[in-house]
Structure 1
Amino acid sequence: MKQFVLGIVLVSTLFACQQKKYGAFIVSGKIENSPSNKILLEALPFGAQQPVVVDSTTLASNGNFELRGTATTEGLYLLAIENGPQVLFINDSKDIKVVMDAHHYKTYTTNGSAASTALHQFLEQYSTKFDPLADAYLQADSLQNTPHADSALSASVNLRKETLLKNFNGFLEQTIKESTSPALTYYVIGKAFKTMQPDAIKQLTDASVAKFKDNAGGLMRLQEIINGQMATDPKIALMNKPAPDFTLADTSGKMVSLSSLKGKYVLVDFWASWCSPCRQENPNVVAAYNQFKDKNFTVLGVSLDNDKAAWLKAIHQDHLTWTHVSDLKQWQSSVVDLYKITGIPFNVLVNPQGIIIGVELRGVALQNKLAEVLK
């Protein structure tokens, strides 16, 4: 099995090429301790599940090699040792040098290709930043599945997870904004699908298309994919759209409409007393409400309960002091189809004009979004 340079994921939507004439290029250099004498130059074309061999050669006795390719676009390529490690690079110049020790392939060097050097630096930083985030998610998931887990510990772990997530996404965003290579930009946006919200990815993609307007062929295709995804995914489709109105009974039987709260920022929080993840998230919602309730902000709790006594008990136990409504029909509630709800907890943040400006905001993400809009 081939070893991949850390961070390479061959997802078909990640490897579009950019429309810029680059012509012929040469990749040469030296490879030490190679497990095979056969070396391949492979392209990663848009939409392909597997790399395409462009050229191949045999290592000289001193480890030197030279490979040639021709491309009309800037794209992503692999320098691959047969049955050995691979190096990812970008054909942004006509003469690219690669030096690698197969025993320590992650420390390869590239010369003559600024985009390849930037890509290598990104991959190294990606590993350093992503691994702690992945560990934090595993720890948080483990606690969530542990009966009677310590609430203070869970809150601490979730806070760490959300902080690492914010910092990691900030790293991706900064890399994308500072990139001078359309191929590198495309690759990093592909990585962002793991951790960023779709609306944030769309904003970065739209900006990148404008930035590389003369070389944005692949980015434009990615833009089309994202737009299609946002149009077909109900939750994503809610963003920047008017919040669907509804009217349900509150705890005393009084009918309350979402539209009656227009003029305020409203977190519409869909939850239920029987939903363990909802109950674990409630302290975060309480903290957000207490912090921002005097800044034209409120919460409207919408329960998918079918037992009124259990609903009222949970409201009291979790200290949820805002308005609560429910038709007590659980998954047959009218709001389920209206908001295309497939799981809870689920929420939307509605601005004073009645437009949804946030979807599925949890943990630190909720605090950060409220701090952003309620300055």
Structure 2
Amino acid sequence: MKHNILAVFFILFTNLANCQNFNDEFVISGKIYGKDTGKVILRYNNINDEVILDTAILEQGQFSFSGRVYNVSEAILRTDIETTNLEDKSIIRFLLEPGTINIVVNILNNPTAIITGGPAQQEKDDWDRQKKDLLDARAFYYHKADSLNNLQNKNNKPSDNQAIAALSSERDLILQSIRTKDMAYIQSHLNSYLSAYLLVQHHRRLPLDSIKNMYDKFGYHVKQSDLGKRLLRFIYPLTNDTLFRASNPLLSADMEKKLRIVQSVYSFSLQDTAGNLVDLAAFKNKYIVLDFWASWCTPCIKAIPALKQLAAYYKNDPIQFISISLDTKIDDWKKSILQNNFSGLHVLDSNAFRSPVAVYYKVVWAPHYVVIGKDGTVINADAQGPDDPAFRLLLAKLLKKE
């Protein structure tokens, strides 16, 4: 009798697990009118909280993707892989959820995309229609600003700079109107995945307490979605609210314990590309520049030449550049280092944004640069990039004090 009960329990457990796997799966079928060949790239966070960059080959304009995602994740489909402007209409942002999703893209004349198959995306489409005038105005200003920037790069006229500044002010007013409208939507739809998505879109321009309070009011299923996890990854390192941290754990109990005993950069030992542990205490009495980056981060990759140039310039000075990867997959990390000829000291904690070193230094996006003094104290917790004159000036001033 006991064996029969165990057998029944095992069958039920297996069926539930299989249902869970099935409920996590998505399939995307797509068609692009106006482009028969080439590639498209899909970016999203999978069920294991890993950043996935998937490529599909177009066959007579058709493409497909499949994978697993928990609840809802923001996805970005790049139909023109050469485009770097994130506001370009060839870049399609949508809400990815389990099930079958159909995407039809028309790049002839005015590019448009129709996405069907998911209730979260349907809610987003409905809300976008209600603020269509504002979204159209935003698109207009981004397009005009892009044109003026290209013109300014050619002519280098002061009048172009004035026009760009005036346009930026007008654009900011539009963005503020969108933000106000979206915040009102969130407050009245606290159990909506769309609300989490909208908060993700605006979180960099909102006070931390406002983000935290709205997150606290979200339903459990929203918090557990990829969108909810993205918000927690932003809030957790920045807040000093111990009650919030205890109620919304980001790290495992073991990593929390490690984090509590961290005193400075010298408390960390991280794995290098050969699999050896690098004790950062070895760099005492040197200035340290921490470069938090990832293979999937386009701005990070673009900054590599400037960072290499700086490291070469200061190679005989008491300053150590350390690149800390936020990749979750070791192979992706190593491959990117080779592809980009990224020399220097490379280390990794595959827990990425959930790692003690990232949480300790309040890393919530990449790239992120931290400048540390010879005694381990932080000089600049969120420094400008290596191609920024202010960053170079900071290092020059530090070394001039020698």
TM-score bracket, normalised by the shorter chain, equals 0.3 to 0.5
Higher helix share: 2
Normalised TM-score (structure 2): 0.37
Normalised TM-score (structure 1): 0.39
Relative contact order, CA 8 A, sep 6+: which one is greater? 1
